[in-house]
Structures are given as C-alpha cells and as structure tokens.
Amino acid sequence: MPNDELLDLTISELAPRIASREVSPVEVTEAALARADRLQPKLNSFITLLHERAMERARELESEVAEGKNPIGIKDNLATRGIRTTVGSLVLSDNVPEEDARVVTLCEEAGAIILGKENLEEFAAGATSNNPHYGAVHNPWGLDHIPGGSSGGGGANVASGVTFASLGTDLGGSVRLPGTFCGVVGLKQTFGRVSQRGLLVTSFNGDHIGPMTRSVADSALVLQAIAGYDPLDPSTVPVPVPDYLEQVGQDLAGLTAGIPSNYFFDEVDSEVEAAVRNAIAALQELGVQVREVSLPSMEYVGALRAASLADGIVTHEPYLTSDRDKYGPNVIYRTLAGQFVLGRDYSRALKVQRLIKEEYARVLQEVDFLVTPTAPIPAPRIDAVDLELNGETHRVRGPGSGFISRNTSPMNGNGLPAITVPCGFSGEGLPIGVQFIGSPFDERLLFRVAAGYEQVSPSKGVRPQV
C-alpha cells in the first residue's frame, strides 16, 4: 500500500501493520507531514507544525514496543512543554509552557506522535473556528464552510486524513460540533473522567478534553489512553477505568433508546432531522427499542449561560487587565458581559443546573441512552454572520451565537457522556451527525451503541475529496 493511502486507515486498522513491522511509524509520519503541508494552505488547520520533533519521535518509536505510533494533533489550548501554545490568541502568542498537559503526557506514553498544535476559535470561545489572528479553519467537505468550533483544526485534520486522532476541548460542544460538521466521531466523556490539568484558560464548570477520530473503536482507544484519576486535578473522580473496547461489536438487541419529545428536535433543519430520524429507524432494525421521553426542565437551560459568563470574566481577568487590545472583538464582547452577572443570578443558574441533572438522572433510569441531532444545522458558510431557520434568524458567531451549540452545550452542564457519529449528508454534501447521550461513567455502552450504528450508517467509508 502506498504511504499516502496509509493515512486513510483508522488507528485500529493500522496498529497490526505497525506491530508486525509491515509498516514503519517513520513512513506514516513522513506521509502525514507531507499531507499536512499540502493541505495547510487549503484548510489552515494548524497554528504550529512540528516537522523535526514529529520525525525524531517517529524514529525513537521505530524500535520500541509501544503500541500507538500514530500521528495525532493537539489543540493549541493544551499545554505542550517547550512548544508554543497560543490558545488561538495574540494574548498568548509567545506562551511556551514548561510542562505538558496530563493528556499529552498520557498520549505520548501510549506511543502517539504529535504532528502539531491545531488551529481553533480564539480562546476556544465559539463554534466556527474563524480565528481573527491565525485565520479561519476550512471544512474539508466544503472549503467555504466552517469545520465547527472551537476545535475546528482537529476536526478538519482527522476528516482529511492528516491525523489519525486529535485531542480537542469541549465546553459547549467544541469536540462534538467539529465531529458533526467534519463527519468524524467526536466524544465528550463524563465530566471527571479525564484530567483537565494543562488545559489553558478554561472554565471552572463543564470543560472536557476529548478525542476526534475516524471510527468509534479509535475513540475508545484514545479514551483508554487518557482516562483515569489524576491526584493533581481535583475535578477528576477515582472511578475505575474499564476496557472501552469490551462491548464494541456486541449487538444492540434489548437496549432502549430515549427520544426527547421536547427541545432537541424543536429547532432543527429538515435535512438534519430526516438524517437523525433515519438513524433512529436503523437502530430499531438493529433491535433497539425506542421510547419517547420528556425533559421539561430544558425550557430553562438558557439560565446556565449566566454561570458560564461569570466563569469567563474570572478566567480572563489577568489578560483583560494587561492585554485587552490583543483580543479579537467577538471574544472581548462576550467576555466583558460576564462582569454584569449578579451573585443571585449565578446561584440560580447552579440551581437550574442541579434540576436538569436530576431530570436526566431520572430519565436514564427508564432508558439506556438518548438520541438527538448533534447540531440543528449542517455547517454554515465561513462568511455567514446570521442564518435563517424556519423563519427565525440566528447569529452564527459573536455575542448571542449559542444556537449552533444548543444541542451539545446542555451535556456540558449536566456532565453526561455524549458522542457524535456521522449519519448522512445534506443536499450540499455536508456531513450530519447523530448524538448519543449516556449515563455517568458508562462510556462503554455509548461505544457499543455508536459502533453498532456506525456499521449501518450511510456515512460509513465516505471521505472528503479535498
């Protein structure tokens, strides 16, 4: 197989070839870097490419027993020792961390080869990855369209075969939105399952580090490498880490899916709804029982915005004092709004968050998992400021632009695991994703469901021709 074609394999497919020495990690890394160089002018998916470091790492792994040995990407808000980490802003353009984020250490211990630091929305604050300082990331399925945000560089790289996996961060859907818009698998695991240590300028409530991959099995493999209790991160929980591949491949007969009767399908593009309804029908053919469920507290989910606004002003405070002029306009405007949140409103937001968590806990006693559209629309154009849906106008970026993440951000508030899997295409050929939501720390079941559906998805085996 030519080296360039190796990049279209999954981690699971490539691993045995590397283990048998049929394929060298040096060959794969050379091919990945060549493709990265070729596509960077089109996708703008990296802020920093690490040619020499990646090749040196590949040569080191040539003789080691480590299993991974796959080129991956790291979002540029995850600390990398000795490597510039900008968080997509001029504020931190010269920031060079002294130690790696915990997840970076764990990935390298598992044999990963880091190709570079990936482009993102400035300060990971938005759903488009239209970065005002480092340029917009382009969607490999349609270069005039956004890849989703804020982890857009990672989604674009995985979809186009530059990386086998990319680590992103998800505070409102920032892994799952690039997942659905770029036609890859995006996972937000349970809050507390993966260490956030080394995640820069984060929120105190609801941020997650998760993988984007080309298959569900690969998502399970990456989570296997990064999951676990970190005694230096009080947000992690000392819950045993199971074998995430254990249930992948098992049939789905006897499971029950909950389909929300309110909120998630209330404001959705007709092509997206059709694709997701077809995915639900495919699950039924695989033996899954379907039950309608109600989540009335979702009427008040907008109240959680008060807590996130207050978090934002506190996390940005040091930079707003010294470097306000280096911020892009969208981030500065949405951040400054947080200073007007009253303590009473913040407490009310936490109360609503608690009520929503309790409601999901009750519903997930009745069903095994929930099914929703990942995003209400396919990927908008890069130059779009507003979009029209069912007679309503919604902002695409900047203040008031939470519409794109309306189906993903609630899972950051309740901490539940959620995964997006490709489930079809729009009339323009843009990917659509279906979101599966599970019970706390039961990612194994989500992988089982997602892998079972993946085998019958109309998106299976389809790759963008960049």
Q: What is the pLDDT of residues 176-233, one digit of tens each?
A: 999 999 999 999 999 999 999 999 987 778 899 999 999 999 999 999 999 999 999 9
Q: Measured on CA atoms in the order 206, 211, 213, 218, is the torsion positive or negative?
A: negative
Every domain of the chain and the residues it spans: 3-454
| Residues marked as catalytic | 75, 150, 174
Calculate Rg over the CA atoms of the chain: 20
Give CA 297 to chain center in angstroms: 25
Average pLDDT over residues 348-373: 97
Provide the whole-model pTM: 0.97
Is a pLDDT exceeding 90 seen at residue 334? no
Burial classification of residue 195, based on how many CB atoms lie within 10 Å of its CB (0-12 exposed, 13-18 middle, 19 or more buried): buried
Would you call 4 helix, strand, or coil by DSSP? helix
* pLDDT at position 159: 98
Which pair of structure tokens corresponds to residue 289? 């029982």
Does residue 150 have a cis bond before it (omega within 30 degrees)? yes
* pLDDT at position 204: 75
Average pLDDT over residues 116-133: 97
pLDDT tens-digit series, residues 69-113: 899 999 999 999 999 999 999 999 999 999 999 999 999 999 999
Counting every residue, how long is the chain? Answer: 466
Q: Measured on CA atoms in the order 327, 328, 333, 334, is the torsion positive or negative?
A: negative
Residues paired with 131 in a beta bridge: 135
Q: Identify the band that residue 64 occupies on the pLDDT scale cut at 50, 70 and 90.
A: confident
Say if residues 350 and 116 touch (Cβ distance below 8 Å). Answer: no
* pLDDT at position 67: 66
To the nearest 10°, report the CA torsion of 286, 461, 54, 231: -10
Q: Which of 122, 452, 112, 65 is nearest to 287 (CA)?
A: 452
**Which range among 155-159, 173-177, 337-341, 350-354 shows the weakest confidence by mean pLDDT?**
337-341
In sequence order, what DSSP letters do the residues of 25-78 get, joined into one string? Answer: HHHHHHHHHHHHHHHHHHH--EEEE-HHHHHHHHHHHTTS--S---EEEEETTB
pLDDT tens-digit series, residues 405-449: 999 999 999 999 999 999 999 999 999 999 999 999 999 999 999
* pLDDT at position 4: 81
Q: Which fold has domain 3-454?
A: Amidase signature (AS) enzymes (3.90.1300)
Say if residues 214 and 164 touch (Cβ distance below 8 Å). Answer: yes
